[in-house]
Structure 1
Amino acid sequence: MSRYRGPRIKIIRRSGILPGLTSKILKPKSSYIDRSTANKKISQYRIRLEEKQKLRFHYGLTERQLLKYVRIARKTKGSTGQVLLQLLEMRLDNTIFRLGMATTIPGARQLVNHRHILINNNIVDIPSYNCELGDIIAIKNNKKSQSMITRNLNLLQKFKIPNHLTFDSTQLQGLVNQRIHREFINLKINELLVVEYYSRQV
């Protein structure tokens, strides 16, 4: 299954707020009724599926990528669900988004693909690159790259950077200073349901 490229409003109407997918917020509709679930008993499988889809859409992953991360998380010491979220949070595209350099994860992915991002003074054009402790994420030293980042930072003036990252607005660079803790992940999701969904596939 490929990465989702369709209407984002449709997804957040169904799944709720997904800050990584879009910065748009739907106005509440008191008269809106989801006819697909009205007067129907929702199965446990569907609950797990929807939670998995929420995670996939937020981080902009393909089904194959998410399955790969679940397999890695299962082999890693600790709670599988929390390890899975830590792996996803340490992706380069998500780290750029969390630093406020991009308004969404797809926007961050585009910055990486277009070679605007440096890791420890080296250009990295792989959005799935796994950031490590001590990594310095900076912007290429040219006017176009820096103006794009400055514009995004101005749009996100009240954006709160999580505790595992620090950002120097004068140098336009961020630092990964620790592993992220569960409470700083800005996504309402039950990661255990995602792990249960994949329990028979890994």
Structure 2
Amino acid sequence: MANYTDAVCKLCRREGQKLFLKGERCLSPKCAIERRPYPPGEHGKKATFRRKVSDYGMQLREKQKARRIYGVMEKQFRRYFREASRRKGLTGATLLTILESRLDNVVYRLGFADSRSQARQLVRHGHFEVNGRKTDIPSYLVSVGDVISVRANSQNNAYFKERAQIIQNGAKVPAWLSLNPMTLSGSVVGEPSREDIEIPLNEQLIVEYYSR
């Protein structure tokens, strides 16, 4: 996540649920929240017995959860919210649509990476093209009709050869994306709707947080 350098498993433990920040490890018994299902820190085990969380506390936690899932810092997240509030439709759902449209998230959704953080690193290293042009900005927002592909030189890397095998064995992508396993490319065929975004978030709480 951007400038966060501590163990990302602590973020899942702080939110009390899996945020799937480490890919396959999150599905294994090694997952930190499976072994220590309580917040990190000296008093983590006692957190369960604390007083009821306030409305503000729930709003804050939901906002932090969304930021951590997508790997976005506060300043940028607030900018996304302002953009969502200017667009037509429900602000919360629109915010998630914007977050889903980030290039690093699309790379992750297409199966080219095990996690969004890994996808972000691959994008920064210049392994992807958007509409035939090298794009190394993880926050780049894709649009309907855009084609995202692994660059020709990168397709010879051992990592992408392994990913090609995994993808060809039956990778599943959201309905708003299409994938061509043979060319290691995908395209945006529509805008992600709230029903397409299978993330355990209550976006209304985020709207309430910023509307205080």
Question: Structure 2 length as normaliser, TM-score?
Answer: 0.85
Residue matched to 2:158: 147
Name the stretch that deviates more: 73-82 or 135-144.
135-144
2:117 corresponds to which letter in structure 1? P
Stretches of structure 2 that go unaligned for 5 or more consecutive residues are 39-43
Residue aligned with 2:49, SS? coil
Residue matched to 2:18: 17
Deviations 1:154-186 (CA, angstroms, capped at 9, x unpaired): 567565210000111100000100011112213
Name the stretch that deviates more: 106-115 or 33-42.
33-42
Alignment match of 1:176 (pick from 171, 175, 188): 188
Deviations 1:122-147 (CA, angstroms, capped at 9, x unpaired): 00111110101010101111156653
Stretches of structure 1 that go unaligned for 5 or more consecutive residues are none
Instruction: Measure, in 1, the Cα distance between the counterparts of 2:148 and 2:192.
Output: 16
Q: Quick one: structure 1 residues 105 and 30, their matched pair in 2 at CA, closer, same or farther if it must change by over 3 Å? A: closer
Alignment check: 8 A CA contact 1:165 1:176 kept: yes
Alignment check: 8 A CA contact 2:154 2:160 kept: no
Residue matched to 1:115: 126
Residue aligned with 1:35, SS? helix
Alignment check: 8 A CA contact 1:103 1:152 kept: no
Residue matched to 2:41: none
Higher relative contact order (CA 8 A, sep 6+): 1
Name the stretch that deviates more: 91-100 or 38-47.
38-47
Instruction: Measure, in 2, the Cα distance between the counterparts of 1:14 and 1:199.
Output: 24
2:159 corresponds to which letter in structure 1? M
Residue matched to 2:82: 71
Residue 59 (structure 1) shift: 0.4
1:174 corresponds to which letter in structure 2? G
Alignment check: 8 A CA contact 1:116 1:145 kept: no
Instruction: Measure, in 2, the Cα distance between the counterparts of 1:197 and 1:31.
Output: 26
1:47-86 equivalent positions in 2, closer than 5 A: 47-86=58-97
Residue 74 (structure 1) shift: 0.4
Instruction: Measure, in 2, the Cα distance between the counterparts of 1:5 and 1:30.
Output: 20
Instruction: Measure, in 1, the Cα distance between the counterparts of 2:188 and 2:209.
Output: 31
**Identity value in percent:** 38
Q: Quick one: structure 1 residues 146 and 190, their matched pair in 2 at CA, closer, same or farther if it must change by over 3 Å? A: same
Instruction: Measure, in 1, the Cα distance between the counterparts of 2:37 and 2:124.
Output: 42
Name the stretch that deviates more: 62-71 or 21-30.
21-30
Alignment check: 8 A CA contact 2:127 2:154 kept: no
Question: Structure 1 length as normaliser, TM-score?
Answer: 0.89
Alignment check: 8 A CA contact 1:118 1:139 kept: yes
Instruction: Measure, in 1, the Cα distance between the counterparts of 2:19 and 2:166.
Output: 18
Q: Quick one: structure 1 residues 118 and 30, their matched pair in 2 at CA, closer, same or farther if it must change by over 3 Å? A: closer
Q: Quick one: structure 1 residues 17 and 36, their matched pair in 2 at CA, closer, same or farther if it must change by over 3 Å? A: same
Residue 153 (structure 1) shift: 5.0
